[in-house]
Every structure is written in structure tokens, then in C-alpha cells.
Amino acid sequence: MPKFKIEKMRLSHLDDVMEIEEQCYGEHHWSRDSFVNEIDNSISEYFCAVNEEGKCIGYLGMWKIIDEAHITNFAVHPLFQKQGAGHFLIVKSIEKCYEDKIKYITLEVRVSNEKAQRIYEKFGFKSLGKRKHYYQDNGEDAIIMWTENIFNEKYKKLFDENKKFLEEITK
């Protein structure tokens, strides 16, 4: 059983979220006001992984527009990485996409962030191009990643396998 639960992001999570932002992104991170606006945004969906002490250890946010979702930000505190929280956040976001009849999920990821790219690839994201000089802090390129239609039987099978694997490793 994981030592955390996934829940909708609330204002009470923001102190922890801002700590994660600073730890993961340094001085080039989203502002607290940006997260406040996202929590209140009708097209946004934000989730937190919360440990047994009630501390948010990771989060994932996405915008839902018609039949597409765009993952806007995703991070797990460095002290809590490699414990499954990131995978469970992705699972929760995909489940929400199924619930809301969203067919495709997209995101941008730094070219240098191979660890994140591998996680996304496990969930069926594929590289479909680059955004040149996308990141303002250093001008690094972003890889654009997309899923195929998540209602496709091939994708559903991959997603079910990922969920089953997570359930088995957390028993």
C-alpha cells in the first residue's frame, strides 16, 4: 500500500507545493498566485500526492480543453522520488481524462530531463516534435509528447498494465 493518497489540490497544499517548486525548479518556478489561479480555473485539474503526515509530496496539473488535456506541471519532492507518487499522479490524471471523455494528453518536457521522458513513455507518450528555446531560464528546447487516443484498445491495455503493476508493487 502506498504511503500517500492522491487528492485534489487545495489552497492548504500550497506551502508544500511551493517548496517542491523551489526544490525541483529553483528560482524559475511558478508563483503561488499562479497555483491559486489554477485551483480556481474551470478548465484546470490539479492533484496532490499527500503522505501520512498530510504533507503534499508531489503534484500534477493539467488543462482540459474539449477532448485534449495538457499537463502543465508535474513534480515530486526530491526526498520522495522513486516511491511511486509520480506514477500514481499520472494514473489519477488519466483516470480523470477517461471520466471527462478526453481523448488525448500532451505535455512539454525538457530535452535534458530523460528521467521524466522515461516515465511518460511508460504511459504511452511519444515524442512528436520540439519547441525550440522553450524554457525561459536557459533557452533549452522542449520535447512535445502526446498519447494516442486513450480510448483506443491498445492504449487502454497499456494503461491497465501500468495500473496493475503499481497495485502489485504497493501491496
Beta bridge partners of 47: 8, 60
Please, which residues have CB within 8 angstroms of residue 105's CB and are 6 or more apart in sequence? 62, 68, 69, 70, 71, 93, 94, 97, 125, 146, 147, 150
Sheet-wide strand order for 68-76: 4-8, 44-51, 56-65, 68-76, 104-110, 142-146, 126-131
**Around Cβ 69, how many Cβ atoms within 10 Å?**
25
Q: How many residues does the chain have?
A: 171
Beta bridge partners of 143: 109, 130
Beta bridge partners of 109: 143
State how far Cα 98 lies from the chain centre.
Answer: 15
Which residues carry out catalysis?
108, 120
